[in-house]
């Protein structure tokens, strides 16, 4: 019985096992037998036992006890045992195992063996799992083999040298001369090895790169010659792959040329003709040709090539984009991604095809197409490209959604042709994929809407429509509630220029808000928005104030503490400060004093503020206002504003300093009456736009002493912290 049948027999038995347990049993028996055999003296079956053990190892079972056997077999004089021994070493040993050091000596001896096949075993093992120490020990041997041996060994020695250089880069200098001389060989295997070695040496050490470029007989012309020979040669049966002569070697040479020409004009010039030739003559109908073309394109893009060549390269990539083979489309998009920054216009020409790839079935292709599309967005194509992106968003795989939405928002922010378009786009995204947007989207959108003053009517109508359709998307609902709260009067007016106005009654609007409040889909933050919006509407509607009052009071006993607090305080507004509700700016038009939201790019224009100045005037009583906001101005040198002058009491407000997080306001109160004025109550309301909450209410009690007595006016400053504070902190 031939020995190898024993191995095959074992494999058959193992495969015949019907359950995992049975298999384990068989394997345990076999391993026990193998272990016993290993312990015995040499009986000629060692190699087969090791082979069996390797099979068992491949199935996933432990095989440590075979390591020493590998070492023994490698040292054996017989070829069959060496062969399996080296295979075992590559599979069971790696440089972290101690046993690997033991084979260094055997490898050294085998490197000088008179049979080239034994030498080849040693070289292969060294290149696969040689540790740094082994490499250092054996490097001189490898160098010797590089110079004086037949081509079979030379090619292997070259690749072994590559491994050594990767492990111990300092040894690169040792191999440089030999590597150079190998380029004169005719044998393709040796040439290939030499090119790989030179590539590795140049990549690691810029000095070596210089050497190869200038000294040592410049390498570039020689490579160009070899390459030309390959491209122009006729059919060579030995190396031909689908019409290309030795594509592996061609690709490696191109890669080496890339490294040599990277920062070097002269070298790049020398290659230009060749690259043009390869680009035009290579047939790309099969993968081999495409691989060579691809490498050519990568090289052209990386070196200092002339512009005509670059255009040629981009066109090749464009052709790849139209290829039926999905793989080729994928790699072409990968390369286009790399060059989209530098050759933007060239890539723009292929935008149509790239956008078509968004509809591909394959998720990897889709992802590449998405990234490339986002990189291609510019002011010129924003409208058409955004249409495609929005279409893509509606059908894109879930793992790409977050990326798509943030990409769309970035693009819209940079290139929006008009505010209306911008708002429309964001709303579209929120309706399609509102669950995958970032948290800052809501405040950003609110900011955007506020600044787009002429679009308030349009926006509120649109948002109202969206709200009554679907209240599951939290971000959309929050923005809609805020908008209705702010511009509810425009909604109720029922007329709009830009869009079909919705004819609603106050009850309808309140119904919508109440639905949001009561729905189990609404998050606590959303409920907060809705409650505040309801409250704000109390100044904008005329008939249903009682309804609002009842809604608000219900939530006074809500479980959610935040809601409860708000409801209680709104209730207080109704009861105790009803007169303030109109006059104060608690429920009045918003002022966007604080301009620094986390993502906010532009400061709030003062036009937004000037909008608020007539704001209080539109609420029911104009006259005597303690309207803090009407007096404030965000312009650089705010004048002192007299906000109250009546009965001898004068109040002046001055904005002293405004920082990103705070604003100092100085109130100067003057009493020019005869008596003291007691129980002076000052309430300053600063609505906060970012969260749509009514702002800080600071209640200051003071006694304003009569001027007559020569007491100084009361002057005090208050720090208004606009952002990130709970709505009802007293200052």
Partner 1 sequence: MCQPIKKYLTASLPNAHPLHTYGSVRKRVKCSFIYTYIHIGSESTIKIKMQFMLLFSRQGKLRLQKWYVPLSDKERKKISRDLVQTILARKPKMCSFLEWRDLKIVYKRYASLYFCCAVEDQDNELITLEIIHRYVELLDKYFGSVCELDIIFNFEKAYFILDEFLLGGEAQETSKKNVLKAIEQADLLQEEAEAPRSVLEEIGLT
- By beta-carbon proximity to partner 1, the closer residue of 83 and 319 is 83
CA distance 295 to 275: 10
Map the footprint of partner 1 across residues 707-726, applying CB under 8 A: none
Half-sphere exposure of 170 (CA within 13 A, CB side): 4
CB-based contacts of 511: which residues, under 8 Å, 6+ apart? none
How far CA 467 is from CA of 57, 350, 453, 461, in Å, comes to 63, 40, 21, 10
Indicate which single residue of 35, 83, 136, 420 sits in contact with partner 1 (rule: CB under 8 A). 83
Q: Using CB under 8 A, which residues numbered 445 to 464 contact partner 1?
A: none
Residues 527-566 that bind partner 1 (CB under 8 A): none
Smallest separation (angstroms) from partner 1 to the CB of 406: 4
Q: How far is the CB of 473 from partner 1 (least distance, A)?
A: 20
Those residues with Cβ within 8 angstroms of residue 503's Cβ, 6 or more apart along the chain or in another chain:
494
Q: How far is the CB of 499 from partner 1 (least distance, A)?
A: 32
**Of the ranges 115-123, 306-314, 350-358, 711-719, which one interacts with partner 1 (CB under 8 A)?**
115-123
Q: Which two tokens stand for residue 7?
A: 């191995």
CB of 322 to partner 1, least distance (A): 16
Tokens of 322: 């139209």
The single residue among 54, 74, 171, 653 that binds partner 1, judged by CB under 8 A, is 54
Q: Which is nearer to partner 1, 361 or 730 (CB)?
A: 361
Decide: is 273 part of the binding site for partner 1 (CB under 8 A).
Answer: no
Q: Across the chain, how many H-helices and E-strands are there? A: 35, 8
Of residues 496-525, those binding partner 1 (CB under 8 A): none
What single string gives the DSSP state of each residue in 178-235? HHHHHTT---HHHHHHHHHHHHHHHHH-HHHHHHHHTSSS-HHHHHHHHHHHHHH---
Least CB distance to partner 1 at residue 167 (A): 8
Task: Tell me which of 56, 73, 142, 155 binds partner 1, using CB under 8 A.
Answer: 155
**Of 53, 70, 71, 87, which lies in the binding site for partner 1, with binding defined by CB under 8 A?**
87
Question: Nearer to partner 1 by C-beta: 44 or 524?
Answer: 44
Site residues for partner 1, 57-76, by CB under 8 A, read 58-60, 62
Binding to partner 1 in span 608-667, by CB under 8 A:
none
Select from 17, 24, 95, 144 the one that contacts partner 1 (CB under 8 A): 95
Judged by CB under 8 A, the stretch of 185-193, 270-278, 573-581, 590-598 that binds partner 1 is: 185-193
Nearer to partner 1 by C-beta: 141 or 371?
Answer: 371
Q: Return the number of the residue (117 or 716) whose C-beta is nearest partner 1.
A: 117
CA 305 to chain centre: 31
The correct pick among 13, 99, 124, 545 for binding partner 1 (CB under 8 A) is 124
Task: Compute the least distance from the CB of residue 190 to partner 1, in Å.
Answer: 10
Site for partner 1 in 191-230 (CB under 8 A): 192-193, 196, 203-204
Long-range Cβ contact pairs of 267-273 (< 8 A, separation 24 or more): 267/213, 267/220, 267/303, 268/303, 268/304, 268/305, 270/220, 270/221, 270/224, 271/220, 271/224, 271/299, 271/303, 271/305, 272/305, 272/306, 272/309
Closest by CA to 260, choosing from 206, 197, 335, is 206
CB of 252 to partner 1, least distance (A): 9
Number of residues that bind partner 1 (CB under 8 A): 86
Query: What token pair was written down for 667?
Result: 């109130």
Report how far residue 405's alpha carbon sits from residue 400's, in angstroms, rounded to the nearest whole number.
9
Q: Kindly tell me which of 203 and 306 has the beta carbon lying closer to partner 1.
A: 203
Q: Which of residues 292-351 bind partner 1 (CB under 8 A)?
A: 294-295, 298, 326-328, 330-331
Q: How far is the CB of 181 from partner 1 (least distance, A)?
A: 19
Closer residue to partner 1 (CB): 231 or 568? 231
Q: Quick check: helix, strand or coil at residue 523? A: coil
The answer to whether the beta carbons of residues 70 and 25 sit under 8 Å apart is: no
Pairing relation of β-strands 244-245 and 240-241? antiparallel
- Site for partner 1 (CB under 8 A): which residue of 79, 574, 577, 728? 79
Among 176, 268, 282, 290, contact with partner 1 (rule: CB under 8 A): 290
Q: List C-alpha distances in Å: 681 to 580, 588, 684, 698.
A: 12, 20, 10, 10
41 close to 50: Cβ distance less than 8 angstroms: no
Selected binder of partner 1 within 179, 223, 291, 667 (CB under 8 A): 291
Please report, as residue ranges, which positions from 346 to 385 form the binding site for partner 1 (by CB under 8 A). Answer: 361-365, 371, 374-375
User: Min. distance of Cβ 113 from partner 1 in angstroms?
Assistant: 12
- Which secondary structure element, helix H or strand E, spans residue 404, and what is its range? helix 398-415
Mention every residue, 6+ apart, whose C-beta is less than 8 A from residue 584: 577, 625, 626, 627, 683, 685
Find the shortest distance in angstroms from Cβ 656 to partner 1.
Answer: 37
Report the residue from 35, 166, 420, 428 that binds partner 1 according to the rule CB under 8 A. 166
The nearer residue to partner 1, 185 or 562, going by C-beta atoms, is 185
With respect to partner 1, which residue has the nearer C-beta, 156 or 652? 156
Pair of tokens at residue 207: 């000095």
Count of beta carbons in the 10 Å neighbourhood of residue 72:
16
**Contact indicator for 357, 329 with CB cutoff of 8 Å:** yes
Closer residue to partner 1 (CB): 43 or 307: 43
Complex with partner 1: residue 330 or 714, whichever CB lies closer? 330
Q: Which residue among 56, 84, 300, 643 contacts partner 1 (CB under 8 A)?
A: 84
Looking at the Cβ atoms of 254 and 567, the one nearer to partner 1 is: 254
- 476 Cβ contact partners less than 8 Å away, ≥ 6 residues apart: 427, 430, 431, 434, 463, 466, 467, 470
| Residues 398-427 as x/- pattern, contact with partner 1 by CB under 8 A | -x--xx--xx--x-----------------
Please state the closest distance from residue 188 (CB atom) to partner 1, in A: 5
Rounded-to-integer distance, Cα 478 and Cα 266, Å: 62
SS3 state of residue 14: helix
């Amino acid at each position: 019985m031939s020995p190898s049948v024993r191995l095959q027999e074992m494999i058959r038995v193992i495969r015949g096992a019907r359950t995992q347990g049975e298999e384990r049993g068989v394997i345990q028996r076999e391993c026990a037998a193998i272990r016993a055999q290993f312990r015995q003296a040499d009986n000629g079956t060692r190699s087969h036992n090791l082979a069996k053990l390797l099979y068992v190892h491949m199935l996933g079972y432990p095989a440590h006890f075979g390591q020493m056997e590998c070492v023994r077999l490698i040292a054996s004089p017989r070829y069959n045992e060496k062969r399996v021994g080296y295979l075992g070493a590559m599979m069971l040993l790696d440089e972290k195992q101690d046993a690997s050091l033991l084979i260094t000596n055997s490898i050294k001896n085998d490197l000088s063996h008179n049979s080239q096949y034994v030498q080849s075993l040693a070289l292969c093992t060294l290149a696969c799992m040689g540790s740094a120490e082994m490499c250092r020990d054996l490097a001189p041997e490898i160098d010797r083999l590089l110079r004086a041996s037949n081509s079979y060994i030379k090619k292997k020695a070259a690749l072994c040298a590559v491994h050594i250089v990767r492990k111990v880069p300092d040894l690169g200098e040792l191999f440089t001369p030999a590597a150079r001389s190998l380029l004169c060989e005719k044998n393709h295997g040796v040439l290939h090895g030499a090119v790989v070695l030179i590539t590795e040496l140049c990549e690691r050490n810029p000095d070596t790169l210089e050497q190869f470029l200038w000294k040592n007989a410049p390498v570039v012309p020689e490579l160009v010659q070899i390459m030309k020979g390959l491209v122009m040669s006729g059919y060579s049966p030995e190396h031909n792959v689908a019409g290309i002569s030795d594509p592996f070697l061609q690709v490696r040479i191109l890669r080496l040329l890339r490294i040599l020409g990277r920062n070097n004009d002269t070298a790049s010039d020398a290659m230009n003709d060749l690259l043009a030739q390869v680009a035009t003559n290579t047939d790309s109908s099969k993968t081999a040709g495409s691989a060579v073309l691809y490498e050519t394109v990568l090289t052209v893009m990386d070196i200092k090539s002339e512009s005509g060549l670059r255009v040629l390269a981009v066109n090749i990539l464009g052709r790849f984009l139209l290829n039926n083979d999905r793989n080729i489309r994928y790699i072409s998009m990968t390369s286009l991604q790399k060059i989209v920054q530098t050759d933007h216009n060239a890539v723009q020409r292929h935008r149509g095809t790239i956008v078509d790839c968004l509809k591909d079935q394959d998720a990897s292709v889709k992802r590449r197409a998405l990234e490339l599309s986002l990189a291609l967005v510019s002011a010129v194509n924003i409208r058409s490209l955004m249409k495609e992106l929005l279409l893509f968003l509606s059908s894109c795989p879930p793992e790409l959604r977050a990326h798509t939405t943030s990409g769309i928002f970035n693009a819209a922010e940079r290139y929006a042709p008009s505010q209306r378009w911008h708002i429309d786009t964001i709303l579209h995204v929120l309706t399609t994929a509102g669950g995958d947007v970032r948290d800052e989207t809501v405040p950003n959108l609110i900011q955007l809407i506020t600044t787009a003053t002429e679009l308030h009517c349009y926006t509120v109508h649109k948002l109202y429509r969206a709200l009554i359709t679907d209240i599951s998307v939290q971000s959309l609902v929050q923005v809609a509630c805020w908008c209705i709260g702010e511009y509810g009067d425009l909604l109720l007016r029922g007329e709009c220029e830009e869009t079909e106005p919705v004819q609603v009654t106050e009850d309808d609007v309140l119904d919508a808000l109440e639905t949001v409040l009561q729905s189990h889909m609404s998050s606590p933050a959303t409920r907060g928005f809705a409650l505040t919006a309801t409250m704000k509407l109390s100044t904008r509607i005329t008939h249903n104030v009682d309804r609002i009052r009842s809604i608000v009071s219900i939530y006074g006993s809500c479980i959610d503490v935040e809601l409860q607090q708000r409801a209680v305080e709104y209730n207080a507004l109704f009861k105790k400060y009803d007169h303030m509700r109109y006059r104060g700016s608690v429920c009045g038009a918003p002022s966007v004093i604080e301009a620094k939201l986390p993502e906010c790019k532009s400061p709030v224009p003062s036009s937004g503020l000037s909008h608020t100045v007539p704001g209080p005037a539109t609420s029911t009583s104009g006259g005597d206002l303690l309207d803090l906001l009407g007096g404030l101005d965000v312009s650089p040198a705010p004048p002192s504003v007299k906000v109250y002058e009546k009965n001898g009491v004068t109040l002046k407000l001055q904005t002293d300093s405004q920082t990103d997080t705070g604003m100092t306001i100085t109130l100067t109160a003057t009493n020019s009456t005869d008596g003291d004025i007691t129980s002076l109550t000052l309430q300053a309301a600063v609505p906060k736009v970012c969260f749509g909450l009514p702002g800080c209410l600071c209640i200051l009690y003071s006694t304003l002493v009569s001027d007559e007595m020569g007491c100084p006016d009361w002057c005090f400053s208050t720090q208004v912290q606009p952002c990130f504070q709970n709505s009802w902190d007293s200052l």
